[in-house]
């Protein structure tokens, strides 16, 4: 499932084509994805102007001049594809509708934004723009890891006394929003912390030091266009490239990349997810 860097990359790709542009027509080709679409979604989107695109955790929010926001979740295989407009160095002509094109936004500029989702684990919803924190998918989310509210003292306080593994704590969306399995593995390797170590047993100094490492890993991933492992594509259809910089994720048995470490990457399963780490330098 796309994590924060992938969703942010998609948002940045969509923004030049959607912000300040009116939706001339919205086509909704089925009643639901993971959950039912809101009533009259096509009619509520048609004619609305997109004021801005934002990201909250792993969700994209398109604020409309109607006072509503379109919430977009990519799920396992969802893609937001742009055609009829130049995105960076790329221009894609409109193609005939495909089998899994579930929602299409025809912009007044001539561009088309298509939500394609073969597995249908994605979601779209409309919510009042001034009440997003009350939405079931957004309520209870922790601070953004790249925002000012997420700092060392905050994280140290949230980890204090927790008996859960640090890997699970960092995946807890109520502690910090948007982190997923890939980037937590990479962060813990840079920090030299074993993924199974109890969160509450990490010293305050080491807990606080996780914050700049989290920001560093996420910023590098965003700059690389995210990580393409299965279905993820950027809005212009291109792959992300951060997977080529993975130190541990998906590298079981490979030599550790940390200078001076002679260890090899190992894998354990935590809460049904693979955790990759180096036993030689992660304690």
- 84-138 pLDDT per residue, tens: 987 766 667 888 888 999 999 999 999 999 999 999 999 999 999 999 999 999 9
The one catalytic residue among 3, 6, 132, 186: 3
Going by C-alpha positions, the residue among 3, 1, 19 that lies closest to residue 225 is: 3
* Contact yes or no for 277/190 (Cβ under 8 A): no
- DSSP letter at 244? G
Most confident of 72-86, 185-199, 213-227: 185-199
Q: Which residue has the higher pLDDT, 157 or 228?
A: 157
Q: Please say if 86 is a catalytic residue.
A: no
Give the list of residues 6+ apart from residue 229 with CB closer than 8 angstroms, or none.
Answer: 182, 243, 250
What residue ranges of the chain are covered by domains with CATH 3.20.190.10? Answer: 4-134
The dihedral region occupied by 100, where left means phi > 0, alpha psi between -120 and 50, and beta the remainder, is alpha
* Helical spans, DSSP H, in 91-203: 152-159, 166-171, 181-191
Q: How many CB atoms lie within 10 A of CB 166?
A: 26
Q: Please say if 208 is a catalytic residue.
A: no
Q: In angstroms, how far is CA 218 from the centroid of its own chain?
A: 10
The one catalytic residue among 2, 5, 165, 195: 2
* Contact yes or no for 265/251 (Cβ under 8 A): yes
Task: Provide the CATH topology of domain 4-134.
Answer: N-terminal domain of MutM-like DNA repair proteins (3.20.190)
Burial 255-268 (b: 16+ CB within 10 A, else e): ebebeeeeeebbee
3-state secondary structure of 247: coil
The one catalytic residue among 58, 79, 158, 233: 58
Instruction: Give me the mean pLDDT over the 235-264 stretch.
Output: 79
Q: Is the pLDDT of residue 225 over 70?
A: yes
Element holding 7 (H helix, E strand): helix 4-18
Q: Please say if 2 is a catalytic residue.
A: yes
Measured torsion, CA atoms of residues 140, 220, 153, 178, in degrees rounded to the nearest 10: 10
pTM score: 0.90
pLDDT band at 230 (very low <50, low <70, confident <90, very high): very low
Going by C-alpha positions, the residue among 22, 114, 127 that lies closest to residue 69 is: 127
pLDDT band at 6 (very low <50, low <70, confident <90, very high): confident
Q: Is the pLDDT of residue 243 over 60?
A: no
Rg (CA), the chain: 20
Largest CA distance in the chain: 61
Q: Is the pLDDT of residue 231 over 90?
A: no
Q: Average per-residue pLDDT in the chain?
A: 91
- DSSP letter at 194? -
The one catalytic residue among 143, 258, 273, 279: 273
Going by C-alpha positions, the residue among 61, 64, 60 that lies closest to residue 51 is: 64
Q: Is the pLDDT of residue 241 over 50?
A: no
The dihedral region occupied by 62, where left means phi > 0, alpha psi between -120 and 50, and beta the remainder, is beta
Q: Is the pLDDT of residue 209 over 90?
A: yes
Q: Is the pLDDT of residue 25 over 90?
A: yes
The pLDDT assigned to 239 comes to 43
CATH number of 152-277: 1.10.8.50
Instruction: Give me the mean pLDDT over the 250-256 stretch.
Output: 95
What percent of the chain has pLDDT above 70?
Answer: 92
What residue ranges of the chain are covered by domains with CATH 1.10.8.50? Answer: 152-277
What percent of the chain has pLDDT above 90?
Answer: 80
Element holding 220 (H helix, E strand): helix 204-223
Q: Is the pLDDT of residue 232 over 80?
A: no
Residues β-bridged to residue 79: 116
Q: Please say if 144 is a catalytic residue.
A: no
């Amino acid at each position: 499932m796309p994590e924060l860097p992938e969703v942010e990359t998609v948002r940045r790709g969509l923004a030049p084509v959607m912000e300040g542009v009116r939706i001339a027509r919205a086509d909704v080709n089925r009643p639901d994805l993971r959950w039912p679409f809101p009533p009259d979604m096509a009619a509520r989107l048609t004619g609305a102007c997109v004021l801005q695109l934002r990201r909250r955790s792993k969700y994209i929010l398109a604020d409309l001049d109607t006072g509503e926001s379109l919430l977009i979740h990519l799920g396992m295989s969802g893609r937001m594809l742009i055609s009829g407009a130049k995105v960076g160095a790329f221009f894609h002509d409109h193609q005939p509708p495909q089998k899994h094109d579930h929602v299409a936004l025809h912009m007044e500029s001539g561009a088309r934004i298509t939500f394609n989702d073969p597995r249908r684990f994605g979601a779209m919803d409309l919510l009042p723009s001034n009440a997003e924190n009350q939405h079931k998918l957004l309520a209870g989310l922790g601070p953004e890891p790249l925002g000012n509210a997420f700092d060392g003292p905050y994280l140290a306080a949230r980890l204090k006394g927790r008996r859960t593994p640090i890997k699970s704590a960092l995946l807890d969306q109520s502690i910090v929003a948007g982190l997923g399995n890939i980037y937590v593995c990479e962060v813990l390797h840079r920090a030299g912390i074993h993924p199974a170590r109890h969160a509450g047993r990490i010293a305050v100094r080491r807990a606080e030091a996780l914050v700049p490492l989290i920001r560093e890993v996420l910023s590098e991933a965003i700059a690389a266009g995210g990580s393409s492992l299965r279905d993820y594509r950027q809005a212009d259809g291109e792959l992300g490239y951060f997977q080529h910089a993975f130190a541990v994720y998906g590298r079981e048995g490979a030599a550790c990349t940390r200078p001076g470490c002679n260890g090899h990457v190992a894998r354990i399963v935590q809460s049904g997810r693979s955790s990759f780490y180096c036993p030689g330098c992660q304690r």
